[in-house]
Amino acid sequence: MKKLLRYVGPTTLAMSLAFTSTAMANPQSKPNGPWVEDEQNLSFSSFMTNEELYSALEKIERSSHGKMELEIAGYSNVFEPDNYWTEEEKGDPIYLAKFGDNDPDKKKILITTQIHGNELVSTEGAIDLMQKLAAGGKEVDEILEKVSIWFLPRINPEGAMNQYDGEWYPARYTHQTWAPEALGLPAETLAPWYYNSDGSERAQNNDGRVVYGVPGYDENRDYNPNLDFRVSDYSASEIADALNDQDVWKQDENGNWYEAHNGKNSSDYGGFYVTAESRIVTEVFKQFEPDVYIDVHHRGFNKLSEEDNRQVSIQVAADVAGDYTDPFSGKKYSVDKDVLKLGKQVNAVAHESLQRGFSSFGAIQKYPKVDLPGTALGAFALNDASIMLIEIKGQSQTLGQKQIGMLKSTVSVPIYEVAKKLADGSIHNVDPAIYDNIPEAAFRISDPTTRGDF
């Protein structure tokens, strides 16, 4: 397999160093694996292709007896309200599955999966939940009477079906080339910082990178607290100045990196809505105005604590964005305290729903503290949605389809319990301190027998 070691810049280095002290110890976990080894066949046969996903969604709609309504929210290369095209072809459809209408008297949950194309289990878990809701029954009917639940599964369909050397190799990024002149900007304008110019992805076991050669974006950095932000609404000089204003990192006399300049084209600011996918998701969010927004991701491996060596099943987060000032308009955004309280209660319910004796299901940590206004969760939290981030253990290149049954449950079970408690109102009796007391992210691990930390 062809590999490329990519340049590690100061920002990446700083993020990596945050894990170094615990990672170098290679703590063991229970279970101690499963690990995908370097020469092992990395199979994705248990996961749905795009076509299989579309067929599954249509089948669920038919079997739901009217409970679910399926529509196409948009296409990966076009956002029709703006007539915004990124390629000549429409691209792949992004489906919206609606359980319930947009009744303002009902509680509302919006769920997105696979904003990163290589986070495959997230969509499979959402499909399991949709099947449960479509099957109905007394409890489900009571939930759907009070709560509308909308799903946008696999919102990065191009990255999901990415190919490398003629094989299916899901990638984090969308497929789209930076074309500043098409946006009315000078040709030399720098791309958004989250642009993957060489079309590369982490290799199996994170052993370097493979280059599949299709540029694209990290869609989960393309959002903006100004949900109506469009490059075309500002002068070319304003946008170009912002894009050309990147972070500057320097080294001190001891060789330590520090941020000498905080640029507007960085993770500290909102994204530029250059992808059709982010615009589509945001349009649904604006129409639906959900009380709760849930985004499902994947991550690495951790053990729970120094004393508890259970391997962490998921990490959760209710807070991913701080106060924000729009660099163009000066408008200020903040997370409402009641919105944050409900977010903590939602995440607390998720934590409690997986406590099953002393199993790894219940080994849950809080995601590391971040301030990311350019993520979907960050932007939507700053627009009055209580949020839950679910980070499932393992990436496609480090876990493949291992433990898929268990990991799907770490998606479907917590979200179902949240919906149930929203429906009967008991979620407001949940103590937010349960969330506050969830162990912080720590003790990152990898297979100690074959390779170093990733």
Report whether 436 contacts 344 (CB < 8 A). yes
Residue 294 lies in a domain: yes
Place of tokens 């979200």: 415
What is the predicted pLDDT for the residue at 447?
57
Residue 451 lies in a domain: no
Nearest Cα residue to 173 out of 137, 204, 197, 151: 197
Full-model pTM? 0.91
What is the predicted pLDDT for the residue at 26?
47
Distance CA 453, CA 25 (A): 9
Residue 4 lies in a domain: no
**Cβ neighbour number for residue 256 with a 10 Å cutoff:** 10
Residue 206 lies in a domain: yes
Residue 254 lies in a domain: yes
Could you tell me the residue range of the domain that residue 343 belongs to? 10-445
> Domain holding 241: CATH number?
3.40.630.10
Residue 3 lies in a domain: no
What is the predicted pLDDT for the residue at 300?
86
Contacts of 364 (CB under 8 A, 6+ apart): 304, 312, 313, 314, 315, 316, 350, 351, 354, 438, 439
Contacts of 444 (CB under 8 A, 6+ apart): 19, 22, 23, 300, 301, 302, 453
| pLDDT tens digits in sequence order for the chain, 454 residues long | 333 333 334 444 344 433 333 333 444 666 666 666 666 677 777 899 999 999 999 999 999 999 999 999 999 999 999 989 999 899 999 999 999 999 999 999 999 999 999 999 999 999 999 999 999 999 999 999 999 999 999 999 999 999 999 999 999 999 999 999 999 999 999 999 999 999 999 887 777 899 999 999 999 999 999 999 999 999 999 999 999 999 999 999 999 999 999 999 999 999 999 999 999 999 999 999 999 999 999 998 889 998 998 989 999 999 999 999 999 999 999 999 999 999 999 999 999 999 987 778 899 999 999 999 999 999 999 999 999 999 998 877 777 777 777 889 999 999 999 999 999 999 999 999 999 999 999 998 875 555 444 3
Number of domains observed in the structure of the chain = 1
Residue 348 lies in a domain: yes
Residue 51 lies in a domain: yes
